[in-house]
Amino acid sequence: MSLRTVLSVASEAFPLVKTGGLGDVVGALPLALTHEGIATTTLLPGYASVLGALEAATVVREYDDLQGGPARLLAGRARGLDLLVLDAPHLYARPGNPYVAPDGTDWPDNAQRFAALGAAAADVARGAVAGFAPDIVQAHDWQAALAIALLHYADGRRPGTVMTVHNLAFQGKFPRDLLEVIGLPPRAFAADGVEYYGDIGYLKAGLALADRVTTVSPTYAAEIRSPEHGMGLDGLLRHRTDVLTGILNGIDTDVWNPATDPFLAASYDARRLGRRAANRRALQARLDLALDPDALLVGVVSRLTWQKGLDLLPAVLPALIAQGGQLALLGSGDFTLEAALQETAATYPDRIAVSIGYDESLAHQIQGGVDALLVPSRFEPCGLTQLCALRYGAVPVVARAGGLADTVIDANEMALSANAGTGVVFAPDSRDALAFALERVATLRGNARSWRQMQRRGMKTDVSWARPAEQYAALFRALAADRAG
């Protein structure tokens, strides 16, 4: 059987709505899969930004009452994606972040908001939209996971199901008394169903009941089967080892292309690395840093949460500055971490720039202008910023965790003698290891020729979606064949 259609279900898709890497992946994988002969339709919640971008939409299904209000499914296209959009104003027409209210707390009805998404997905998977019969349903993270549980407990034929985990830290855990509200039968509340430490676990249900489970790097796929990284789900993941695979993410190499990037002061490629100097100057000027052409300029583009390990940074910055270094950090997240970083920046205004917020243009300018990009995560399912850094000739300096370990080759003596190193890799969650890594970067950069070679090797690394898409396509085909057989 040849496979043609995937229903991808998610709460984000770049460039329509994005809070992190999940959005990038959901936005980019469909195009990559078309090269494998697979068409993807993506089902998203009807946030204002999604509805606003939808072209030539038609109503394909209506609900009198979906989790407390009327709703409809719209089919259309937006920014190159074939979409189904769940237009349910009582659930999604809200200001700010898709998950969190402006006061920083989760929306109180998130269980219902994403139960509705799951229910619509399960309907579509079972033929609710005339002429559309997906072979595979791919549910991304907990927000989409209920689709898999609803399909599992429904009668009749269903497509193959794939649960894709972008971050095990976000699990969607809700009170057990919601079982009926979210449309599940009493028998679903079981250890091999949606029950999760006495509550309902959306991600847990997806992991337990999907035909296949994928996550976003081979190392993370191994790590999450251990108690240390399994976040309460390692036992289940060990049980599901046979169907668990790690497939690395790629990045959109058109959006992230230093030769054509409209945000950069100067475009460049591996043969014209000298042109990066103009980007560095423009970045320093934009951020009010000293226009120092020689400083080791380190960049960070990140959510500011415990996961990312950036709380370790303030303590090591005095040493970086003593070596003449500079820091350009862009991020947002935990208020206390934002404040700590801003306080450090205030102490060294022309050496440290901390920009709080979400800013696509500055993210590109940091990648195009810094010497090194730092990712000191405690855990990292895949990580995308180090892939962007490789492509932009910003040497990645990363903790040895998850996908960071799978994508950056440490430039140790042996790697350098084999012309193989692409960055610096250090032990996670250690201030000393982070400080030593920054010292190593300074030493490596001291050898201009070898540093340039390392930048070029990074830029030649294949960070595109081509190989990951091949792996997803193979997995989808094998699953569809299994189910047909």
What are the residues binding ligand ADP (CB under 6 A)?
Answer: 20-22, 24, 301-303, 330-332, 358-360, 363, 382-385
Find the shortest distance in angstroms from Cβ 398 to ligand ADP.
11
Residue with tokens 């976000």: 170
Backbone angles phi, psi at 367, to 5 degrees: -60, -35
Is the Cβ of residue 22 or residue 144 nearer to ligand ADP in the bound state? 22
Q: What is the DSSP letter of 109?
A: T
Closest CA to 7 of 151, 105, 107, 106: 151
Kindly state the helix (H) or strand (E) to which residue 459 belongs, with its residue range: helix 448-460
Backbone angles phi, psi at 325, to 5 degrees: -85, 170
Is the Cβ of residue 323 or residue 332 nearer to ligand ADP in the bound state? 332
CB neighbour burial string for 315-329, b if at least 16 within 10 angstroms, e if fewer: ebbeebbeeebbbbb
**How far apart (Å, rounded) are the C-alpha atoms in residues 36 and 250?**
15
Find the shortest distance in angstroms from Cβ 403 to ligand ADP.
8
Residue with tokens 């901390």: 354
Find the shortest distance in angstroms from Cβ 20 to ligand ADP.
3
Find the shortest distance in angstroms from Cβ 342 to ligand ADP.
14
Provide the token pair at 105: 């707390």
Pairing of strands 173-174, 195-196: unpaired
CB-based closest residue to ligand ADP = 21
**How far apart (Å, rounded) are the C-alpha atoms in residues 472 and 430?**
35
Is the Cβ of residue 194 or residue 356 nearer to ligand ADP in the bound state? 356
Find the shortest distance in angstroms from Cβ 216 to ligand ADP.
8
Is the Cβ of residue 153 or residue 358 nearer to ligand ADP in the bound state? 358
Is the Cβ of residue 39 or residue 169 nearer to ligand ADP in the bound state? 169
**How far apart (Å, rounded) are the C-alpha atoms in residues 480 and 312?**
46
Find the shortest distance in angstroms from Cβ 30 to ligand ADP.
17
Is the Cβ of residue 142 or residue 451 nearer to ligand ADP in the bound state? 142
Find the shortest distance in angstroms from Cβ 249 to ligand ADP.
7
Q: What is residue 179's three-state secondary structure?
A: coil
Is the Cβ of residue 75 or residue 384 nearer to ligand ADP in the bound state? 384
Is the Cβ of residue 257 or residue 332 nearer to ligand ADP in the bound state? 332
Cβ pair 380, 307 in contact under 8 A: yes
Pairing of strands 199-201, 195-196: antiparallel
Find the shortest distance in angstroms from Cβ 14 to ligand ADP.
8
